[in-house]
Amino acid sequence: MKNVRWGHVLVAAVPALFIGYFFLYPLARILVLGLSELEVGSDGVEARLLQIGWFTLWQAVVSTALTLLVSAPMTWAVSQFEFRGRKLATAAVTVPFVLPTVVVGTAFVALGWRDSVGAIIVAHVFFNVAVVVRTVGALWARLDPTLHDAGRVLGASEWKVFRTITLPLLRPAIAAAASIVFLFTFTSFGVVLILGGFRFATLEVEIYRQAVTLFDLPLAAALAVVQLLGVTAALYAYARYQERHTATWALRAESDRPEPKGRARLWVGASVIGTLLALAVPIVVLVARSLQPGAYAGLFQDDRVVGRPIASAGNSLMFAVIASLIAVAIGVMASTVITGRRGSLSRWFDLTLMLPLGTSAVTIGFGFIVALGEPVDLRASFWLIPIAHALVAIPFVVRTTVPTIQSIPAETREAARVLGASPGRVWREIDLPIVSRAALVGAAFAFVVSLGEFGATSFIARPNTATMPVMIVRLLSRPGTGSFAMALALAVILAAMTAAIVLWIDRLQFGEIGTF
């Protein structure tokens, strides 16, 4: 019994210590540094904070509003009608969302859109259309059609029925989608850095500039505090809205969609084809422009400044494998703790594990630089990169494994114990075979997250440990068409690697891609 007790303690302690030391401790150090060492009001610091904070806020609001508007036609089409290619169209619209942000930014550079607020906002819309289509469409597809029919019988027009019946029912899903898009655009880094540079800096980009370029750690910490306050305020506002507007209605089976007929067929075709063509343009142009003579061959040549660019692909793959192993190990142990206990402690543990997903990646990387210099200096360690990637990936592993563990009947475990099996053997013989498939899906998600991660890596990567996103940005920042063409080629390779993993996840049929 004593060994069993110590085993439970170890399973709970490892995830707690990992999150505590590599996330909560750096976050606390940033808060202390930002609140105690910055002299607000000196040298225009206060005005700078307000200027950057205001730009971050309004570009996120505009990006969110435009994303909702642009996504509306396709959301209506795929949720209300059944037509040939509907599932393929829904999967295709998700592709931009799973692409690394650096690839999206590079695709818009290939279009010639750079150094403008418009380019940033359009790229944000491109990246987040899937959030609205999948989140709002999932609820819209299951609203009871008799509510709509009753409104029409009473003489209301289609617009009035939508405004007075459908829209109020969709508000919770719209709020959920809007909150996700807002958080993504409020903390956007790769897209803003590539398309706006330091001229159009958001809080995320300015934290990077102050810490890495100007070495003003107190100001960077203060900006991180402002950003954390903004994210917290957005999450609180969303939670309050959901509390006030939650409603319960009977839902229909999702397979009950009618086929479009007459004018509706034309509108459905225009909505779906128009949206998919618009989303395809940046990717097609990226691939086409990467086919310049010597672009791919140049990736294999040594350069005195950046080294051999293709070596970054090996680094990315190596870090992705290590990050996946760490994320699965920590995530499965954490899932065991969450499902094995009930009450507030388990809920708080689950919430703490989710926090890195809602925290800026730049803040995580900056926290490593600020906090991990003592008692042992880990800031130049090779392991920090996969650890940073694992922090963001652990929530994916937890979310895929917890429902699976919860689905295992308690009677099955109890029968094994009655037959004399130890808790360890019960886990190996019963839980592990069932959980392994979910853990494999979580590992694949962790792999994709690691491949595309840029914010934290930009702080802690060294010249010999540059990942593909870091190398793409380095090549884009160099003058000359040769470096630009190589950046495009490397972005295409990264996009292809990401797409291959995502398609493999989809083939496992363990939930839908892009479920939010």
Q: Are residues 479 and 503 in the same domain?
A: yes
Distance CA 206, CA 177 (A): 27
Query: Which value, in Å, is the radius of gyration of the alpha carbons in the chain?
Result: 24
Between 425 and 249, the more confident residue is 425
Q: Are residues 443 and 494 in the same domain?
A: yes
Q: Are residues 213 and 300 in the same domain?
A: no
Whose CA is closest to 238, among 336, 135, 315? 135
What pLDDT sits at residue 256? 66
* Structure token pair of residue 305: 């400044």
Whose CA is closest to 140, among 184, 44, 74, 190? 74
Q: Are residues 480 and 391 in the same domain?
A: yes
Whose CA is closest to 202, among 101, 105, 57? 57
284 found inside a domain: no
Whether 4 has a pLDDT exceeding 50, the answer reads no
Q: Are residues 300 and 199 in the same domain?
A: no
Strand partners, 143: 251
326-375 pLDDT per residue, tens: 999 998 888 888 776 665 667 777 777 877 877 778 888 888 988 888 77
DSSP per position, 150-214: HHHHTT--HHHHIIIIIHHHHHHHHHHHHHHHHHHHHT--HHHHHHHTTTT--HHHHHHIIIIIS
* Structure token pair of residue 287: 């691939």
Residue with tokens 């655009």: 185
Distance CA 378, CA 185 (A): 31
Q: Are residues 23 and 157 in the same domain?
A: no
Whether 455 has a pLDDT exceeding 70, the answer reads yes
Residue with tokens 């290590």: 322
13 in helix, strand or coil? helix
302-331 pLDDT per residue, tens: 888 888 999 999 999 999 999 999 999 998
Q: CB atoms < 10 A from the CB of 287, how many?
A: 17
Whether 76 has a pLDDT exceeding 50, the answer reads yes
324 found inside a domain: yes
What pLDDT sits at residue 243? 62
Contact 413, 426 (CB under 8 A): yes
* Structure token pair of residue 285: 């142009």
Residues 6+ apart with CB under 8 A from 258: 80, 81, 82
* Structure token pair of residue 512: 């839908």
What pLDDT sits at residue 65? 95
Identify the H or E element spanning 473: helix 468-476
404-416 pLDDT per residue, tens: 777 666 666 666 6
**Alpha-carbon distances, residue 171 vs 330, 389, 470, 512 (angstroms):** 36, 34, 39, 23
What pLDDT sits at residue 511? 43
pLDDT confidence band for 169 (50 / 70 / 90): confident
- CATH code of the domain containing 392: 1.10.3720.10
285 found inside a domain: no
What one-character DSSP code corresponds to residue 429? I
Distance CA 470, CA 307 (A): 13
What pLDDT sits at residue 516? 34
CA 226 to chain centre: 21
**Alpha-carbon distances, residue 516 vs 180, 199, 433 (angstroms):** 9, 33, 27
Strand partners, 251: 143
322 in helix, strand or coil? helix
Whether 486 has a pLDDT exceeding 80, the answer reads yes
Q: Are residues 220 and 265 in the same domain?
A: yes
Q: Are residues 194 and 330 in the same domain?
A: no
Average pLDDT, the chain: 81
pLDDT confidence band for 379 (50 / 70 / 90): confident
Contact 101, 57 (CB under 8 A): no
Q: Are residues 13 and 94 in the same domain?
A: no
Q: Are residues 8 and 81 in the same domain?
A: no
What pLDDT sits at residue 297? 92
What pLDDT sits at residue 242? 65
* Structure token pair of residue 126: 């491109």
Whose CA is closest to 320, among 221, 458, 467? 467
Whether 3 has a pLDDT exceeding 60, the answer reads no
255 found inside a domain: no
Which of 18-32, 240-254, 434-448 bottoms out in mean pLDDT, i.e. has the lowest? 240-254
402 found inside a domain: yes
Distance CA 449, CA 335 (A): 19
107-135 pLDDT per residue, tens: 999 888 888 899 999 999 999 998 898 88
What one-character DSSP code corresponds to residue 38? -
20-71 pLDDT per residue, tens: 999 999 988 888 887 775 555 555 566 777 888 899 999 999 999 999 999 9
Q: Which domain holds residue 511?
A: 1-30+290-516
394 found inside a domain: yes
Residues 6+ apart with CB under 8 A from 130: 93, 94, 95, 96, 97, 514
Q: Are residues 168 and 307 in the same domain?
A: no
Q: How many domains does the chain have?
A: 2
Whole-model pTM: value is 0.81
* Structure token pair of residue 260: 């479009």
Distance CA 496, CA 337 (A): 36
What pLDDT sits at residue 411? 63
Between 76 and 213, the more confident residue is 76
Whether 513 has a pLDDT exceeding 50, the answer reads no
DSSP per position, 341-363: --SHHHHHHHHHHHHHHHS-HHH
Identify the H or E element spanning 366: helix 361-371
For the four alpha carbons of 415, 14, 386 and 395, in that order, the dihedral sign comes to positive
Q: Are residues 298 and 342 in the same domain?
A: yes
Between 507 and 26, the more confident residue is 26
pLDDT confidence band for 276 (50 / 70 / 90): very high
Residues 6+ apart with CB under 8 A from 398: 331, 334, 335, 338, 350, 353, 354, 442
pLDDT confidence band for 271 (50 / 70 / 90): very high
What pLDDT sits at residue 514? 37
